[in-house]
Chains A and B, each alone.
Chain A
Amino acid sequence: MGKLDLLQGTLDLLVLQTLSVMGSMHGYGIARRIEQIGGDEVLLNQGTIYAALVRLQQGGWISAEWGASDNNRKAKYYSITARGRRRLTDETKNWERITGVVERILTATKGETQI
């Protein structure tokens, strides 16, 4: 089985969740973390993370500031804002509802075809 292609819009949710758990992080760190947690099952063009970061920052859900990385290089560090946490809660609930519904529908359909 190949790697999972991320659903549109889910990347924002993953980034918010990552920042909410890990605190302040730079782009590379976030990408690595998502890949690690996803057990390398997620197919991620690491570059796409930056589109998500820009979107989230413009909406005021995350904030950014320049800092020095582990190897003492200049890097941009992102952290989640209060508004971002609220959105994360909402979106997580939303996600659970959707997956629940999708799952129910899928199982029901299977049941029908078996008859």
Chain B
Amino acid sequence: MIGRFQQFVARLRAIFQKRTLDADFECELAHHFDALVEENIGKGMTQPEARRQANITLGGREQVRELHREARGVAWLEDTWRDSAHCIRSLHRAPAFTVAVLTTLILCIGPNTAISTALYALVLKHPPFAEPDKLVNVFNEYTKVGGSTTRQQSSPGQYLDFKANANLFDGFAIMEHSGFTIGEDAGPERLNGLDVSADLFSVLGVKPLLGRFPTAEEQTSGKDHVVVLTQRYWHTKYRDDLTVIGKAALINDEPWTIIGVAPACLELLDGYAQVLHPMVLPDYAIKPEARYYQGKSALIGRLKPGVTLSGGLAQLSTIEQRYFEQQAPPSLRSGLEKSGHRILLSPTLEELSAKVKKPLWFLQAGSLFVLLIGIVNVTNLLLARANARRPELAIRHALGASRGALRRLFLLETALLMGTAMAGGSVLAWGILKLFNRYLPQVMPSAAPVSLDLSVLGFILMSLVTAASITAVFVFGLLWRTGLDQVQTRTGSANRTVRRVGNLLVVAQVGTALVLLATAGLLIRSYAKVLEVDIGFDASRVLEARTVLPKTYSDSAKVRDARHRIVAAVKEIPGVDSAACVAHFAVAESGTPTVFTLRNLPLETEKNHPLVNFEGVSPGYFATMGIRLIEGHDFTEADEVNFGESVIVDEAFQKRYFPGKSALGEEIVLNSKAPTDDKKWGRIIGVVKRANITGLEQRDGLPIIYIGFWGQGGGLTVVARSDRPTSDLLAEIRAKFRTIDPSLTFYHSGSLQSALEDMLIYRRGIMLLLAMFAGLALLLAGVGLYGVLAYDVSQRTREIGIRGAIGATSRQIVGLVLRQGLLDVGIGLLLGSLGIVATSRFVKAQLFDVKPIDPITHASVLILLGVAALLACWLPARKAAKVNPAIALRAE
């Protein structure tokens, strides 16, 4: 056994020592030969005769050399090497074929690899939390609010209750967005923070990168002036300074201690976060009646081993029910009953990738379709080439090449092509991912840039090798079965079986291309429809900048005064036509939903408690934004005192709740129940045009109601209307902020137009990629069709020549080829149409204002594909018509 192994190793080594071994053997052989010659001369032979006999005794020197080489090396490896060289030469001699196959494969492999990599990195790959599949997010779900099921985050009250009473869980952690102002030499900066409970780290099972995490003790007011930096912030701000631990940072005007740096995986929970801070649970937030009002905290639990999702849910629901029966105030109970409240558990892994998951699978399906068409094309090309090589193969076979040797040649050639294509495809994928990473933060801010992954590449390489082997064996098998010997080297026309397989492949291609084209068409139309939506405000001329009033602005009078001074200062800037401020971001996808009650319209009769988005705005907001006032009047400074006293609703609200009537003068509160005091009703003082500040796709979303910007402190966004360039103006606004109060931050700034466009990145990205795939599919299918027909025509030159000679007109010959091609196309289109119906269910979710079966789109793609197919058929048909009978027959 050892001997055999040693032998194998020695043989492998021998391949690489060819030259030395050959020289050695030459010397040995010469010695043997000379000895034989001497011996023969000794027997009395002449010199030439002695040499001749010596050669005979040895068995021919060349043969001996060959024998020796064979014995010492690994024959198949050397053969493979030789065959590879042969394959490369022969591919080099067929540049059109080689380029066609390589281009097709690279165009298919590149996008596929890129999307698979993204899918793997963003969706399939688990974050480095301990047993991440045991982590669940807890939500409150309302089945009867706002027309559809809505999800709300959890509250500190729920966190404490579950933590104390849910024994099927190993722990719970809570976190909430928060903002900090950090003092800098160049002026204060706004920090995105995350308030977290100290148990977050043990629940996730992560260790600090540096320093330590906060303790439970630091979750009390006064002891909480500590922060943990996220890795990204540590990197950009502190340049990976290892001595940062224990240093002080001026946060909210007080020196806070930096106690640690969190590992990068924590940024998966919130990609915007720069610092983590121990959450101090305020007393009001944990009162029983605040259990749902404070529903803005993410609650993560860890299931004990062996506990299922439904088991965990059942326990939390029971605890919730107990609260409901024993602690909930009666008014809350009736409200909750009406809203159809229940607890919802969702695996954290799914939550993390929820946003990109569907589109990525969608795109993966699209790119797989392209790959399918590509492989079909390549198979077709290989088939055509194999058929054309019949004479060569037959000669090789006749000269003694075995079936295995010929098959090995096929395998090698396919493997060579696939390997080269894989290399090219990887480079293309790398480029695509670079582009992808540029847009990723806008879609999924928490995600780290995606880079090529060895395991994904390995997987794709393995699939390719498998596909290549199957294709090669299939092609060779087909060729072998139909018989090499049938070859008529000069006049042989395309083999029937080979032709039929070619036609089948064309049908499959056309069908697949149609499905892709139709889907891309629907997405393009959807995008156009979204762009057609009336924005309802003047996005191109308005920009926004946000700031936060520090705690020193302690009462509402001071807050109002500061706000007025800020708006007045911005208005002073030359070129600013008007300015105003709003409570939330001026344009934001999420909006701020709230329940409401109308005095004269009992909504209780409806099964579903309605929601609206609300926005606090200052006087002059509508004029600045360019939102047209339809009825009533704008807010005045008097409306800025009491929350919800004066209300302006948009058209959508009026249409929904007062169809055909005016909402002006109606009474309303932003609460789920009517106030007991008559004076607490708010009044609708105006109706404005619908402004899609929650994004164009939210046209039919929740109505928006505006209330006077009440005396609340904290954040505010300034909107300014001007024709000046955005960057200049923003710099001046920033300077104005400083003159009012040097501690004012300046962040989230830019034009509303770009904010709106950012919201469309998602849709645009999917549309562009799928359109690219569809274009690729169209091209590949066209080329495939052309290739099959052109090859067919070239193989039938003699037949066509005879037809011409016995009187077929060129029109008849064109018809002959066209008929054959268009029959395949027709069947393909028919199957593709069935495919469209089958896939429409999956496409539906991505559409806007377009039905999954859309006559205009489908008619256009049918025509597009039809014309392309006609062109692809007509070119070879014309070539056929030009066949000169005399020349074709002379070839005989």
Which residues of A come within 8 Å of B, CB atoms?
A: 26-28, 31, 45-48, 50-52, 54-55, 57-61, 69, 71, 73-76, 83, 87
Q: How far is the CB of A109 from chain B (nearest CB, A)?
A: 35
* 13 pairs, A vs B, C-beta closer than 8 Å: A26-B28, A28-B31, A28-B36, A47-B59, A47-B64, A55-B71, A60-B3, A60-B6, A60-B7, A73-B31, A74-B31, A75-B28, A75-B31
* Given A58-B6, A60-B3, A60-B6, residue A26 in contact with residue B58 (CB < 8 A): no
By Cβ-Cβ distance, the 5 closest A-B pairs, closest first, are: A45-B59, A47-B64, A58-B10, A51-B71, A59-B3
Is A58 in contact with B32, judged by CB distance below 8 angstroms? no
A76 cross-chain contacts in B, Cβ below 8 A: 24, 27-28, 31
Within the assembled complex, what's the spacing in Å between the Cα atoms of A11 and B67? 14
Q: Which residue of B lies closest to A74 (CB)?
A: B27
Cα–Cα distance between A45 and B54 once the two chains are bound (Å)? 10
Cβ A73 vs Cβ B34 within 8 A: yes
* Interface presence of B488 (CB below 8 A): no
B63 lies within 8 A of chain A by Cβ: yes
Judge whether B72 and A47 touch: CB under 8 Å. Answer: no
CB of A6, distance to nearest CB on chain B (Å): 12
Whether A26 pairs with B72 at a CB distance below 8 angstroms is no
Contact present for B68 and A50 (CB under 8 Å): yes
Question: Residue of B at shortest CB range from A84?
Answer: B3
Interface hits, B1-59 → A, CB 8 Å: 2-4, 6-7, 10-11, 14, 24-25, 27-29, 31-32, 34-36, 38, 57-59
What is the interface of chain B, defined by CB distance below 8 A to chain A?
2-4, 6-7, 10-11, 14, 24-25, 27-29, 31-32, 34-36, 38, 57-61, 63-64, 67-68, 70-72
The CA of A48 and the CA of B24, in the complex, are separated in Å by 17
Question: A47, B58: Cβ atoms under 8 Å?
Answer: yes
Chain A residues whose C-beta falls within 8 Å of the C-beta of B58 in the assembled complex: 45-47
**Which residues of the partner chain A approach B60 to less than 8 Å between Cβ atoms?**
47
With the chains together, A65 CA to B421 CA distance in Å? 49
Q: A73-B34, A75-B28 are in contact. Are A50 and B6 (CB under 8 A)?
A: no
Question: For residue A48, which residues in chain B have a CB less than 8 angstroms away from its CB?
Answer: 59, 64, 67
* Residue pair A55, B31 in contact (C-beta under 8 Å): no
Hey, which chain A residues are within 8 Å of B6, CB to CB? 58-60
Distance of A45 Cα from B32 Cα, bound (Å):
12
Q: A47 near B67 (CB under 8 angstroms)?
A: yes
B31:A69 contact, CB within 8 angstroms: yes
When distances are taken between beta carbons in the complex, the residues of chain A under 8 Å from B28 are 26-27, 50, 75-76
Determine if B32 and A46 form an interchain contact, defined as CB atoms under 8 angstroms apart.
Answer: yes
B7–A55 touching, CB < 8 Å:
yes
Residue of B nearest to A50 (CB): B68
Contact present for A54 and B68 (CB under 8 Å)? yes
Interchain nearest-CB distance for A18 vs B (Å): 15
> Hey, which chain B residues are within 8 Å of A51, CB to CB?
67-68, 70-71
Residues of B within 8 A of A73 (CB): 31, 34
Q: Given the complex, which residues of A lie within 8 Å of B38, measured CB to CB?
A: 71
Please indicate the chain B residues that have their CB under 8 angstroms from the CB of A71 in the complex.
Answer: 38
Q: Are A27 and B32 in contact (CB under 8 A)?
A: yes
Known: A45-B64, A51-B68. 4 other contacts (CB 8 A): A28-B32, A47-B67, A48-B64, A58-B7
Taken together as a complex, chains A and B put the C-alpha atoms of A83 and B3 apart, in Å, by: 9
Task: Output the least CB separation between B215 and chain A (Å).
Answer: 67
Taking the closest CB of chain B, its distance from the CB of A94, in whole angstroms, is: 15
State whether A61 touches B3 (Cβ < 8 A). Answer: yes
Nearest residue (CB) in B for A75 is B31
CA distance in complex: A45, B55 (Å): 10
In angstroms, Cα B867 to Cα A45, docked, is: 72
Chain A contacts for B2, CB-based, 8 A: 60
List of A residues within 8 angstroms of B14 by Cβ:
58
Given contact pairs A28-B36, A45-B58, A59-B3, A50 touches B29 in the complex (Cβ within 8 A): yes
CB-based contact B31/A26 at 8 Å: yes
Q: Bound complex: CA of A28 vs CA of B64, how far in Å?
A: 13
Q: Distance (Å) between the CB of A11 and the closest chain B CB?
A: 11
Residue in B7, B32, B57, B70 whose CB lies within 8 Å of A59:
B7
Q: Which residues of A contact B7 (CB under 8 A)?
A: 55, 58-60
B254 CB to closest chain A CB, in angstroms?
80
Q: Which residue of A lies closest to B28 (CB)?
A: A76
Residue of A nearest to B58 (CB): A47
Which residues of B are found within 8 Å of A55, using beta-carbon distances?
7, 71
- State in angstroms the CA–CA spacing of A55 and B14 once bound together: 12
Contact B31 A87 (CB under 8 A): no
> Smallest distance from the beta carbon of A16 to chain B beta carbons, Å?
12
Cα distance A46–B6 in the bound complex, in angstroms: 26
Q: Which residue of B lies closest to A76 (CB)?
A: B28
Measured in the bound complex, the distance between the Cα atoms of B24 and A81 in whole Å is: 21
CA–CA, A47 to B71, complex, Å?
A: 12
- Taken together as a complex, chains A and B put the C-alpha atoms of A84 and B11 apart, in Å, by 18
Return the chain B residue nearest A55 by Cβ. B71
C-alpha gap A55/B72 in the complex (Å): 7
Report Cα–Cα, A71/B34, bound state, in Å.
11
Question: What are the residues of chain B within 8 A of A54 when measuring CB–CB?
Answer: 68, 71-72
Partner pick for B35 among A28, A47, A50, CB 8 A cutoff: A28
Cα separation A51 to B11 with both chains bound (whole Å) = 13
Q: How far is the CA of A55 from the CA of B36 in the complex (A)?
A: 23
Assembled-state Cα–Cα distance A51/B7 (Å): 13
Once the chains are docked, how many angstroms separate the CA of A42 from the CA of B28?
Answer: 23
**Residue on A nearest B27 in the bound complex, by CB:** A74
Q: How far is the CB of B136 from chain A (nearest CB, A)?
A: 63
**Which of B2, B3, B25, B72 has most A Cβ within 10 Å?**
B3
Q: How far is the CA of A57 from the CA of B13 in the complex (A)?
A: 13
Name the distance in Å between B159's Cβ and chain A's nearest Cβ: 72
Considering the complex, give the chain B residue whose CB is closest to the CB of A49: B32
Closest to B57 in A: A46
- In the complex, what residues of A have CB within 8 A of residue B31's CB? 26-28, 69, 73-76
Asked whether A50 lies within 8 Å of B67 as measured between CB atoms, the reply is: yes
**Min CB gap A52→B, angstroms:** 8
B263 to chain A, nearest CB (A): 54
Q: B25: which of A50, A74, A75, A83 is its contact (CB, 8 Å)?
A: A50
- Chain A residues within 8 Å of B70, by CB: 51
* Bound-state Cα–Cα, A73 to B28, Å: 10
Given contacts A47-B60, A51-B68, A58 and B29 within 8 Å (CB-CB): no
- Which residues on the B side are within 8 Å of A69 (C-beta)? 31, 35
Min distance, Cβ A105 to any Cβ of chain B, angstroms = 29
**Identity of the chain A residue whose Cβ is nearest the Cβ of B63 in the assembled complex:** A47
In the bound assembly, the distance between CA atoms of A71 and B30 in angstroms comes to 14
